[in-house]
Structure 1
Amino acid sequence: MTTTVTLTGTGVPIPSPGRAGAGVLVRYGETMLQFDAGRGTVLRLTEAGVGLHELTALFVTHAHSDHVIGLPDVVLGRWIQDHVWQTGPLDLHLPAGAAAEFAARMLDPYAADIALRMEHVQEAPPELRPHAFACASEPREIWSRDGVTVEAVAVHHEPVPDAVAYRVRTPDGTVVISGDTRVCDEVEMLSRNADVLVHEACRTTALRAAVAGTPFEKIFAYHADTVALGGLAMRAGVGHLMLTHLIPAPDDEAGEGAFEQDVRLGGYAGTLSVGRDLMTATIG
C-alpha cells in the first residue's frame, strides 16, 4: 500500500480565498487519520474523495479555534449519515486541558437540532468517544492499529499550555505534523529522518521590521519562523517539507516563492512544497 498526506486546510484565522482552516489527512489503505479540523474541513475531505464515515480517527493539536471550529461539523455530519453507513462514533484523540474541555461541550449549542433530528430519523444522539492524553516532552504512543502508530509530543505554542505535534508511522515511512509551534527541539527530534514533515510557517525574519510594535509581533513570537524552520528540516534530514498555516497567506506564485526562499536560506535543500489546499505527498 501507499501512504498519502493531503493538506485539507492551509489557512489561518484570518480568511483567505481558497484556503480552509488547519487540517491534514494521512491515509494508509483503509486507515484514514485526520489531524485538526479547521473551517471547511468537511468540504475539503469531500473534495479529496473521503467520506466522513471513512475516517478512522481524528487528532487535535491544540484548542485554538482555527484548529477545532470544524470539529462539530465532522461529528454531526458523520452522525447525520450514520443511518446510511452505520459507522458509529469517531475516535477523537486530543491533549488534556482546554482541547478536551472544548470537545466535551462542543455539541451543546446543537441540542435543539439533535432533538429534532431524533424525532424523525436518528435513533440515538451523537456519541463522542474522546481519548484525552497528558502532554509530555518525550514522544509517547497514543494510538495503534493495522500497522499504523501515532505518537504525540508537547510543543512550544505558549501561551497555549497544551499543544502537541504528532508522528505517524506506517509500513511505508514516517509523517510528522507540527501543529502550531515555534521552531523547537521537540519537533526536530520527532522529525529525525521523517519522509514528510508538515509544518506551520511564518515569515518572521522577513517581516520583523514591518510588524514591530503591532499585535502581529506577539503573534509571530509563537509561530515557526521560515528561516529557522529550514535549519530544523536540514538538521533532521527531512525528505519532504510541506509548509502549511501560512503567515501571511501568499496570494500568488511570487508570494509562495518568498516562503521557499526563506526556507532555503535556512539551509534546507530537500523537496519543498508551499502548501495549497488538497496538495498531496506520497510515501511508498
Structure 2
Amino acid sequence: MSRNSKDSESKYSGRQGGGKRKKSYARGNAPIKKKMEKSPLSNQEGIRLNKYIANSGICSRREADVYIAAGNVTVNGEVVTEMGHRVQLTDDVRFDGRRLNPEKPEYILLNKPAGFFVTGNPEMGGRTVMELISKATKAKVAPVGKLDNKAKGLLLFTNDGTLAKKLAKPKSGIRQIYEVKLNKNLSNEDLETIKKGVYIEGSKVPVTDISFIDNKPHDEVGLEINSIREHIVTRIFKSLGYEVESLDRVVFGGLTKKDLPRGRSRSLTQQEVINLGML
C-alpha cells in the first residue's frame, strides 16, 4: 500500500551575512546546474523539507539533511540542496524519484450502517461515513471504492494513495462477499445463470460463487465477486428482474467483519496492510 506529497520555498539563498556562498552538489558530487528560483511561497508558512521527508517515513530529520545535501530530493521537479528549505503540502516532493506523503499512512476499516453516504454531496440532512470515523483518525483519509447509501458492510479508508489506486483498479479485481436480500425468492435457474456470468452493458460479469444462505429463505443469497464496477451487485440481479432490498459486504480482500460491530471502525494491523499490498 503507497506514498504521496508536495511544493517549495527556501529559507536560505545567496550570501548569508557576507559569508561565502555554499556550493550545491547533486548525487555523485556533480554540481547542480539549475538553481531553484525564488517562489512566491517564500513568505508563507510551510514545513521544513527535512521534517516533510521524516514524516513520510523515509528516514530521520538528520538523515534527511544528508540526502537533501546529496541531491536526492526534488521539489516540483527541481533538485533542492538548501538546508532549511520550506515546502507546502501541495508541493510535489520526491526522494530518488518516488513521490512522498508527509502524513503517516493510516488504514481504517468501517462496518458501515445503512443510511450513510460515502461520496458526493448528500441531500439536506444526509449523513456521511466520514462522521463515523472522525474519532478514529485526524488524517485526510478517503474511502476505497463505494457502497450505496442503503448498503451496509465493510468500507476501507486510507491516505495511502498508492494502495488505494492499486485496490481500486487491480487486474483481476478484489475479492468481495456480499449477503443479499431480494424482493422475492431467487429461482434455481436464475441462480445458475448468475453463476455462469451475466452480461451488463455488453460485458460479462464473472461471479466466483453464489449460493443460498443456510436456514434462510431463498430471497437471501451469498454472492462472491471480484468486480469493482459501480452498483454491480444490484445491476446483476436487476438484469434478471429482481430488486435488492438489502446489501451487506461481509468480506473485502482478506478483511472481515469479525469483532467489528455495525457503525464501528478500527485500524488495520500491520499484517493486514501487508496482505492488502500483496493482492
| TM-score scaled by length of structure 2 | 0.24
| TM-score scaled by length of structure 1 | 0.23
Q: Which of 1 and 2 has greater Rg?
A: 2
| Greater helix proportion | 1
